[in-house]
Homo-oligomer: A and B are copies of this chain.
């Protein structure tokens, strides 16, 4: 199967597209910009959801569900919010079809909505309109709510998982009595995202703050996690917004404080989406297909019996059974592939291509020797292992693979991260990709000029840096600290 795949070195973008399609992760639908997430892709997304949901609940959040539709006037209530989303809104104008003798089924002109409805591009407005009824006193705060949902942003140029008109995501929307609490929540959720990226996706991320021009429409401050892909381009993997009192003011959400004063509520919102599927693929996969971190692989261990006849197959099944039971008892997912319509070589190729972390082959010789052959997907190493304590060994191996993927991605990012001091040097280096640490004078003009001239954007002002001052590589003006530039997805 891997020979159907464009090589990364030949055309990285094509490699990505090939892989998403051929590994059965997703495909384009006939609906412009909307994707179909296929079972193998969706199973990975389900694992991400489960892990994130557990982390949200462990930090005190609960789930709820708000309407898909937003009245146009609500979207318009927060000025910068509508400004940011107006150009990409799917608009519902009618609520009925009817038969027409000439044109077949048509939109019924008599069923026009008085006020158009927007398919949610994000839910701040409908949620804050609802929160007005829920929040009366400081006793109702904090309100820590998350929603798993689909959202729609009309995109002109789409790429599977990375930029689609409809995508799946979670959006947290919290309400707080004080600015300090809301900022702390914004930072806490950024931390949750960073931990999820590193511990589950095996992707190292840089935590930082967006510049004003890259901020979420309606936010006072946008925090983000930024990752570096194999091709040297950056990918924003999650954002957490401190919304100040903007939405509370737009929707009149006031509460009675402990001091018995009426005050506007403070807000945050934070989200990650099916875009993370793109990040996962772009970080770890290779010319042989998908590579998945064991923690997110739908099936972690595939067992391929190599038998000449049904009796041998049954003997192998019995031989593997105790080991499979031990693996399952450890919470490891195992598949015993007894499909006799496919040859072992075909199965090996498929498991490799689809990113199964560990593959175990068992033949008659193995049964004689008390062994199995264990192959790991990440390094493609094979080794013969004794059956004794095999489940323990496999569990250890899965942990090792998870760690190896993270270390490899970290080494890649570190190799791709350099400091540059002059704009000339910057222009040369940006062509090679990677994160460039450079001084910036803090003005939107300089930021826009760099973007215009080099297609690089400021990915973030990193939170964890020494913050040594310097002079802007472009203007020569004072700079408080280096920021991270890169070309981005």
Interface residues of A (CB under 8 A from B): 27, 29-31, 34-39, 42-43, 45-46, 62-76, 82, 86-99, 104-105, 107, 116-119, 126, 129-130, 133, 139, 145, 149-150, 152, 154, 166, 168, 341
B154 near A66 with CB under 8 A, answer no
CA distance A93 to B92 in the complex (A): 6
Residues on B with beta carbons closer than 8 Å to the beta carbon of A71: 30-31
20 contacts between A and B (CB under 8 A): A29-B66, A29-B126, A31-B67, A31-B69, A31-B126, A36-B65, A39-B145, A43-B63, A68-B150, A69-B90, A73-B105, A75-B97, A86-B98, A89-B95, A89-B96, A91-B96, A91-B97, A91-B107, A92-B119, A93-B94
Residues on B with beta carbons closer than 8 Å to the beta carbon of A36: 64-67, 130
- Shortest CB-to-CB span from A45 to chain B, Å, is 8
- Beyond contacts A36-B130, A88-B95: 10 other A-B pairs, Cβ-Cβ < 8 A, are A29-B130, A31-B67, A36-B64, A37-B65, A39-B64, A68-B150, A69-B90, A82-B105, A89-B96, A90-B94
Residues on B with beta carbons closer than 8 Å to the beta carbon of A42: 62-65
A97 near B93 with CB under 8 A, answer no
B69 near A34 with CB under 8 A, answer yes
B89 near A97 with CB under 8 A, answer yes
- Shortest CB-to-CB span from A339 to chain B, Å, is 10
- Shortest CB-to-CB span from A462 to chain B, Å, is 35
CA distance A76 to B105 in the complex (A): 7
- Shortest CB-to-CB span from A143 to chain B, Å, is 9
Question: Among the listed B62, B76, B82, which residue makes an inter-chain contact with A43, where contact means beta carbons less than 8 Å apart?
Answer: B62
**For the complex of A and B, 6 pairs with smallest distance between CB atoms:** A34-B67, A86-B97, A39-B62, A37-B65, A91-B94, A76-B105
Which residue on B lies nearest to A77, using beta carbons?
Answer: B105
Residue among A27, A89, A99 with the highest chain B CB neighbour number at 10 A: A89
CA distance A34 to B118 in the complex (A): 13
Residues on B with beta carbons closer than 8 Å to the beta carbon of A105: 72-73, 75-76, 82, 86
B66 near A39 with CB under 8 A, answer no
Known: A119-B119, A130-B36. A168 touches B95 (CB 8 A): no
Residues on B with beta carbons closer than 8 Å to the beta carbon of A126: 29-31
- Shortest CB-to-CB span from A218 to chain B, Å, is 15
CA distance A36 to B66 in the complex (A): 5
A152 near B89 with CB under 8 A, answer no
- Shortest CB-to-CB span from A382 to chain B, Å, is 29
Which residue on B lies nearest to A37, using beta carbons?
Answer: B65
Question: Among the listed B46, B90, B145, which residue makes an inter-chain contact with A95, where contact means beta carbons less than 8 Å apart?
Answer: B90
